[in-house]
Amino acid sequence: MSLSNNLSSLSLSDPPPPPSSSLPLEEQASLLRQQANALFLTSGPSSAIPLYTSALALTPKSAPLLANRAQARLKTGDFTGAYQDAVAALDDGAEGMDPSLKVKCVVRAGEACVGGEIWDLAVIHFEEAKNLDPTSTRIASLRTQALNKLSRTASRPDLNQALMVRRTEWLKSCFPDLDEEDVEWEDESGSEEDDEEEDENEDEGEEEEGEAEEDAEMDDGEATAP
């Protein structure tokens, strides 16, 4: 299902009208998602989030909707919210997942961790994304940058301790129902293999280009996220 070609029919000052309640829930959610994707492009991610949320109220297990809202939340700096959505989209109970969308969700989980400066979790997610898509230069760049941050942090006991505290607080904030032992583990950062793969000359331009390409990938299918 493609976006409406007539984006000008959407008001940028007033929210779009809700779909007819006589439609099946899945169709109502799909219409809301199209409207949200259009607003994402025309007036920014913050305008799209309420519509994604409304659509998720109708179909809470929709992986594409969760992925879309995760991307919107990333762009607005809501990193814990983005992480929650990306992880929820990857849950076995989520619906509408496909291999391409899975890569995006894993990457978005990693990017959310970067935003929260949770470098060890970011590396874990980018490693998984790299395994899913070994040829992606953007994923390789994101992974290298996260490894560099983690290595520098691990080399300083004070920074490493601060990271462990941040990580615990982050996981508690994202998943309040987790047990204490589930959010704390021994530090395993700074392996020799990781150190060998560091690239001090981080390619920020490549990352920005990848982000622009991803933003342009607006909804050409039910399992395609922005």
In a domain, 173, yes or no: yes
Residue partners of 216: CB distance under 8 A and separation at least 6: none
Residue partners of 27: CB distance under 8 A and separation at least 6: 19
In a domain, 8, yes or no: no
DSSP assignment of 105-147 equals HHHHHHHHHHHTT-HHHHHHHHHHHHHH-TT-HHHHHHHHHHH
In a domain, 51, yes or no: no
In a domain, 168, yes or no: yes
In a domain, 189, yes or no: yes
Residue partners of 25: CB distance under 8 A and separation at least 6: 58, 59
Per-residue pLDDT, 6: 36
Per-residue pLDDT, 194: 45
**In the block, residue with structure tokens 């994202």:** 174
In a domain, 64, yes or no: no
Per-residue pLDDT, 177: 82
In a domain, 152, yes or no: yes
**Domain of 181?**
99-215
Report the domain count for the chain: 1
In a domain, 12, yes or no: no
What's the predicted TM-score (pTM) here?
Answer: 0.76
Mean pLDDT in order along the chain per 10 residues (226 residues) = 33 46 83 94 95 94 96 97 96 95 97 97 97 97 97 95 94 83 49 44 45 43 46
Per-residue pLDDT, 153: 95
